[in-house]
Amino acid sequence: MLIFPAVLLLVQQEFGLGYASLGVFANVALLGYGVGALPAGMLADRLGSHRILSIWLVGGSLACLSIGLSAGPVGLVIGLAVLGLFGSLHHPAGSGVLVALRNVGSPEVGRAFGITFTLGFGVGSLASSAMGVIAQRFGLPAVFLSLGMVVAGGVALALSFGHVVGAWSRKPTQPAGAPLHGPHPSGH
């Protein structure tokens, strides 16, 4: 979702959009992201963060591929909304995984959050630049098709190592409604 501003002007040119329509395109994914965040957190509590992260990766990949294959502005808007909804799964579930580090004895939860966000936004900024170049050279569909393929490749790699499959077979570490963290194993 962070790459969309890099291709926004290309969307405007390709579909002949005015500023009001462009605003809808620019914000529909963020709206889906915001609307889906609370239900995503509740799903992560019920089903487990690893499962929700797996759904995010597969759903985000499929959404990007569908956007890349869409033939017009309506398909793009619908695809961006779906991408936003799947994107909303990431932070609640990912944060749950990081907070769970505290429950297994890691005192460096803050550091884990810092590394995660530094890498996430660092890669996001590089991806925006790369997608801008791809959009200019190969067109708008190539941006989302390449993103979908990269994420699908990551899913395939994770499956080959058994991480995603193993996540589906694990039960959540805590029942819904349980406190987010318990006492630290060291007693502090």
Main-chain dihedrals φ then ψ at residue 182, nearest 5 degrees: -105, -170
What number of helices (H) and strands (E) belong to the chain? Answer: 8, 0
pLDDT of residue 180: 47
Model confidence over 68-114: pLDDT tens digits? 998 888 998 999 999 999 999 988 888 887 777 766 666 677 777 78
| Banded pLDDT at 179 (limits 50, 70, 90) | very low
pLDDT of residue 181: 46
Q: 155: Cβ–Cβ under 8 A, 6 or more apart, which residues?
A: 54, 57, 58, 61, 164
Residue type, 160: S
- Inter-residue contact 10 to 24 (CB < 8 Å): no
Question: Does residue 24 register a pLDDT over 50?
Answer: yes
pLDDT of residue 94: 83
| pTM of model > 0.85 | no
Model confidence over 141-170: pLDDT tens digits? 898 899 889 888 877 776 666 554 444 444
Residue type, 15: F
Token pair for residue 15?
A: 């579909």
**Between 26 and 44, where is the model more confident?**
44
CATH class of the region 4-169: mainly alpha
Token pair for residue 163?
A: 């991480």
Half-sphere exposure of 37 (CA within 13 A, CB side): 8
Token pair for residue 128?
A: 């925006």
Report how far residue 31's alpha carbon sits from residue 101's, in angstroms, rounded to the nearest whole number: 30
Domain residue limits, the chain: 4-169
User: What is the 8-class DSSP label of residue 71?
Assistant: -
